[in-house]
Amino acid sequence: MKIHHHGAVDGVTGSCHELKINDHFGILIDCGLFQGAEVSKTGAGENQLDIDFPISHIKALIVTHVHIDHVGRIPYLLAAGFDGPIYCSEPSAALLLLVLEDAIKVGFTRNRQLVARFLKILKNKIIPLPYSTWQSISSELDVKLKPAGHILGSAYVECKVKSEKGSKKVIFSGDLGAPYSLLLSAPKAPYSCDVLVIESTYGDKKHESRKARRKNLQAIIEKAVKDKGVILIPAFSIGRTQELLYELESIIFENRKHHNNALPWGDIEVVIDSPLAAKFTKVYRELEPYWDKEAQKRVSSGRHPLSFDQLTTIDDHQTHVNTVAYLKRTARPTIVIAASGMCAGGRILNYLKALLGDKRTDILFVGYQAKGTPGHEIQKYGEGGGYTTIDGKKYPIKAQVHTISGYSAHADQSDLINFVKRMRNKPQEIRIVHGDDDAKQALMRQYKALLGEHAEVIIP
């Protein structure tokens, strides 16, 4: 048995890991897009997406969750000849086709017949799995998905590798969520593990508490309303967008309920400017049985966390263009959530071009910004009055730039440590992936301190 890493080794994007049982049989866990400056060890990157490793022995693909950096290369995998099943959780099965339809239109073709044909092939390959149930892949391998608490449908993967000598459990973490993720229950550590492949996005950081992040978000909203400015929140269409809506509905509801008249809470508009995010939000509402107890309680009380009065969704391009022009021209307190989360594309770019130079604008980052993306540049150089380059043109940053780490959908250092600490039988080998060098090194030191000489902790 061997483990090969085809992505998310020198950064946080392009997740793709191979569990090779023998020369004739192996599986992939995720097959995602690279973003920004990140590349694979063999040169695959944002502009070179063809599959660059052997796949004739790959018999199945396991999807941990449907973020594009975990599934975006699936069309290229099929084009390279992969013909096996695609296993994922039941909520992910409801979301995956939407994600890949968009990826195909952006990266391949907008020809409706070709897109429809591909989606039909893909749909026939998807096999939804209930959580916490073993699925036989072959006589040598069983897999089980456990809730990861990252986005709706996310999972970590338990692999039971069987041989004449017995069985070995290999676990791929995918992206683990934080304990206080909105809408989702916290991930629970497995009972046992022999080999662990674990993400390290925030392996050197600790998130703000839920109370602190909410307080900070409300403070930014209050400032923007007083300034009569716009809050721009770059967010991925799935996961972060829905969690932000949930929190914004709560903040507005509580302030109106307690008659906080210092600000016109009833006049604040929340805009989702993303057709894809709108589709995902609709599916999220349909997947209410997978929400956590707190979220279901709100719905039972008559509230609609993902569909409230002050929420506007923009679908068509012309309305988007008109909205950007309107917000640039007028002073109206508005919260705009638009993709992409790292400002590497999508409608957020038009808002940034129009509003980065306005000191009343607030840019709020709630997720990781990979090196080489405009989001990283704005986050790094915004405070000093720097600039960012969008579509080949420099834009000075006069807007206020904020980062609230507590809304990250990723576990922080203490969560990643607890994931291992709470296992009854701890791993003999840990492979740390999906993080910057500092994050991986910091997490490695923590794991070595926790496990001592009982485990080998490596960074591939």
- Segment among 27-31, 38-42, 114-118, 304-308 with least mean pLDDT: 38-42
- 441 and 363 within one domain: no
384 and 454 assigned to the same domain? no
Same structural domain, 250 and 260: yes
Average of per-residue pLDDT across 78-99: 95
Instruction: Verify that 18 and 159 share a domain, yes or no.
Output: yes
Between 154 and 165, whose confidence is greater? 154
Q: Is 145 helix (H, G, I), strand (E, B) or coil?
A: strand
pTM for the predicted model, two decimal places: 0.87
Q: Please indicate, yes or no, whether residues 329 and 363 belong to a single structural domain of this protein.
A: yes
Whether 252 and 280 share a structural domain: yes
pLDDT at 77: 95
CATH number of the domain bearing residue 269: 3.40.50.10890
What is the average pLDDT value for the chain, to the nearest integer? 91
Query: Taking the alpha carbons of 319, 320, 324, 325 in that order, is the dihedral positive or negative?
Result: negative
Give tens-digit pLDDT for 366-405.
888 888 899 999 999 987 889 999 999 999 999 999 998 7
Q: What is the pLDDT of residue 42?
A: 60
Same-domain status, 227 and 363: yes
Domain stops at, among 407, 432, 447: 407
Mean per-residue pLDDT, 122-136: 97
Instruction: Residue 179: give its domain's CATH number.
Output: 3.60.15.10
Same domain, 371 and 286: yes
Same domain, 23 and 83: yes
Tell whether 113 and 216 lie within a shared domain. no
Quote the domain boundaries for residue 285: 210-407
Token code pair at residue 339: 């993709």
User: Both 253 and 146 in a single domain?
Assistant: no
Do 267 and 403 belong together in one domain? yes
Quote the number of domains for the chain.
Answer: 2
